[in-house]
Amino acid sequence: MGVLDNIKRKLSDFSFSRKESPNREVKAINIKQAQTVGIVYRGDDDEAKELVERYVKFLKSYNIKCKTLGYYNADELPLYVTPKLEYDYFLKKDLNWKLEATSSEVTNFIEQKFDVLIDLSVSDDEVLRFVTRESQACFKVGGSGLKDGSDLDFALKLQDGDNLRSLMKGIDNYLHLINKE
């Protein structure tokens, strides 16, 4: 990590701490009652990409419309990755000096009012936290403990050994228990 990256990170932290979350109505929703789900994750993590694809298939079995947004810390998408109807991506070159994404994919994702937004970042991620904070979703869920969970409406406490798989398992479990009929 270079000096320039450290400066960008510090400026991002300062800008982020001064920015407020959008005004929205928070509503806890059971996954079976949800009609739309948004998922934010690191696309450059192959395990995350595979788990997200499986989870989207699972959610579609409940007739839930899904939209995912993956971040690649690169200037170009790998050749094996192609954006599809429910899978969008953004890149390092789409970030401004405050590490805020400026691409149309991110803007559209943030403005979409999902019933549930799932943040699958396990550790602090300056790029994904911007998307999570700015999202208009009714119910934001994710992990905390190894990262700041202040922008989430429901946060699972992560321990040192926890990984993405355990986070997704916990989120899915609790989303099935909330407001169960």
**CATH (one of 1.10.3470, 2.60.40, 3.40.1350, 3.40.50) for 3-177:** 3.40.50
Is it the case that residue 1 has pLDDT exceeding 70? no
Domain parsing of the chain, residue ranges? 3-177
Per-residue pLDDT reduced to its tens digit, 47-95 = 889 999 999 999 999 999 999 999 998 888 888 877 788 899 999 899 8
Tell me, what's the pLDDT at 120? 92
CA distance 7 to 2: 9
* Contacts of 62 by beta carbon, 8 Å cutoff, 6+ apart: 31, 32, 34
pLDDT digits over 119-130, tens only?
998 877 778 888
CA gap 140, 45 in Å, rounded:
22
What type of residue sits at position 9?
Answer: R
Confidence category of residue 11, pLDDT binned at 50, 70, 90: low
Distance in angstroms (rounded) separating the CA atoms of residues 140 and 143: 10
What integer pLDDT is reported at residue 139 of this predicted model?
95
Contact at 8 Å (CB) between 77 and 91?
A: yes
Contact 131, 137 (CB under 8 A): no
Q: Cα angle at 146 between 144 and 151, to 5 degrees? A: 35
Say yes or no to pLDDT of 150 above 80.
no
- Which helix (DSSP H) or strand (DSSP E) does residue 155 occupy? strand 154-157
